[in-house]
Amino acid sequence: MNDTAFPRSSARTLADDGDRLHFCSTCAFSQACLDEGMDKAALMDLHVLVEHVGPLRAGEHVFREGDPFEAIAAVRAGTVKTYVIDRDGREHVLGFHLPGEVIGLNAIDGESYPCNAVALDTVMLCRFSFPKIAVLATRVPGLQRQLFRLLSRDIGRAALLAGDWAADQRLAAFLLGLSRRLAARGFSPNRFALTMARTDVANYLRLAPETVSRVLKRFQTEGWLRVDRRELELLDRDAIEALAAPVLRG
Amino acid sequence: MNDTAFPRSSARTLADDGDRLHFCSTCAFSQACLDEGMDKAALMDLHVLVEHVGPLRAGEHVFREGDPFEAIAAVRAGTVKTYVIDRDGREHVLGFHLPGEVIGLNAIDGESYPCNAVALDTVMLCRFSFPKIAVLATRVPGLQRQLFRLLSRDIGRAALLAGDWAADQRLAAFLLGLSRRLAARGFSPNRFALTMARTDVANYLRLAPETVSRVLKRFQTEGWLRVDRRELELLDRDAIEALAAPVLRG
DNA sequence: CGAACACTTGACAGCCCTCAACGTGAGTGG
DNA sequence: CCACTCACGTTGAGGGCTGTCAAGTGTTCG
């Protein structure tokens, strides 16, 4: 069995929504391409390349490790978790991908995806055949530049949390990073819901779930935030920023 | 003061060595581009783009954090260490770059280099203006593809050591990775010299230097390797591979 | 020859993981 | 509507790995 939505995208692809000239405004590609000064014709070329995938429900996979690599995708709605399972059965979370962010970039070097990607809630995607978008990038320098930047950014992002930081520093950096990325997409920066389980956060920050619980509790008793189940409110941003500063290279 | 070789490359650039058609055979670009089937004209275009930089002596910087980003570079000889210093003065090593590998890719997304790059021994570089190589990549699909792959590979590499592994697993993976990369460049896989200090290894693996010493000693008493100062010989590859397997996703 | 540096070795402490038990809320079926 | 189940999350106790501190050894270089 292979219950991934991606390789069989045609079965899951939605019909075009009819608004051919209105690109998803938060998309990592069109947004930045407009900034780059891409003309309308180039944007149109990009648009005809898109396949809208979804909605995927929580727990459904976008792709799995070993699936043949054919496409990258921008998250349009929801949260995607990328992860691997090591031979001891432990899960390592590589990242959480919010609307506007791109998944699959680490698969370009190779024949198949090196990790799994799963929807944490209801997810909508814009799928781009990589061979096709690469060809388009040779004709549209702004698109090529944008792809280079996205790839380069992911290198830095992967290196960020690789350092050896204390548990509270890592959690503070995680929460602050989430807040900033949500804010950049127009969501509230101080009040948001965690779409992932404590275990996911722990496997991302290489902590035990118990440690995540304890640190969150400590933050709450310090008055820095309020957390109820997966609802979260940042009360003292400065305190959290002070903790996270060395991690985020602030 | 800014004693980096890179921004002022003209002062340090060597004259062309006269062998215009013989590209450095281990270069990450020409090697792979030939595999891609780049024609001679395209290779020539790439060749005229190259500036040979060096030799740099141990301790000299290729670029420093904050220097304006203009170029990436392939290591032709020697070892380059990339690192950052956090606000507490602790050094975090991002990577060691051997001949044939490329530095500066994490700077593409941004105006300036996000890290320092220093020569650990005598280093020779091939410098490529990034704007120019990007333009060339629009005309030479094989070059664009190669750039995408290099970037994508670095994402995976950064994620590799980000997991939470025991000290001996991380050190085993480090030694094995080094061995494989050296072997791919034609060096002996079982007998080589560490070009970096114990402290550098420690800062790369986020361990204390003392821990690196102790683990190396344990490996030696187990009969897995022999280490004398910076000379290293792997005696029981299987044992080391067994330790490193979960890290390297073997 | 002396000083600086890299590396090693030992003792100790602390952070965080492991193990275990409990609490809580959501979904399910009777 | 309620009891049940189960996954998720929390809380507590104890231990191990590795960092910190300190001192000692060896090497390289001036």
Query: pLDDT band at residue A142, thresholds of 50, 70 and 90?
Result: confident
Q: What three-state secondary structure class fits B120?
A: coil
| Count of CB atoms situated within 10 Å of the CB of B228 | 8
The C1' atom of C8 and the CA atom of B213 lie apart, in whole Å, by 7
Q: What angle do the packed helices B141-160 and A130-139 form, to 10 degrees? A: 130
Compute the distance between CA of residue B194 and CA of residue B175 in angstroms, rounded to an integer.
Answer: 9
Contact predicate B177/B247, CB 8 Å: no
Smallest CA–CA distance, residue B177 to chain A, in Å, is 18
Contact residues, chain A, for B114 at CB < 8 Å: 156
Provide the percentage of residues in chain B whose pLDDT is more than 70. Answer: 87
Picking from A105, A246, A249, the nearest residue to B152 by CB comes out as A105
Minimal Cα–Cα distance from B157 to chain A, Å?
9
Q: What is the pLDDT of residues B96-107, one digit of tens each?
A: 999 999 999 999
The pLDDT-based confidence of A17 (bands split at 50, 70, 90) is: very low
pLDDT at A33 over 70: no
Which of the nucleotides lies closest to B199 (Cα–C1')? Answer: C6
Res. B56 pLDDT band, cuts 50 70 90: very high
> What does each C-alpha distance from B30 to A54, B43, B132 come to in angstroms?
41, 7, 16
Of all protein residues, which has its CA closest to the C1' atom of C25?
A229
To the nearest 10 degrees (0 to 180), the angle between helices A141-160 and B130-139 is 130
Q: Partners of A191 in the beta sheet?
A: A233
So what's the pLDDT on residue B144?
Answer: 94
Task: For chain B, list the domains and their CATH numbers.
Answer: 10-159 (2.60.120.10), 167-249 (1.10.10.10)
Tens digit of pLDDT for each residue in A149-202?
Answer: 999 999 999 888 899 999 999 999 999 999 999 999 889 999 999 999 999 999
Question: Nearest by CB to A206, which of B114, B163, B249?
Answer: B163
Q: Flag if A206 and B107 touch (Cβ within 8 Å).
A: no
pLDDT in tens, B209-232: 999 999 999 999 999 999 999 999
Q: Check: pTM over 0.85? Answer yes or no.
A: yes
Whether the Cβ atoms of residue A27 and residue A100 lie closer than 8 Å to each other: yes
Whether pLDDT at B154 is above 60: yes
Work out the minimum CA distance from A112 to partner chain B, whole angstroms.
13
Dihedral sign for Cα atoms in the order A228, A233, A235, A238: positive
Three-class SS of residue B177?
Answer: helix
Mapping DSSP to helix (H, G, I), strand (E, B) and coil, where does residue B240 land?
helix
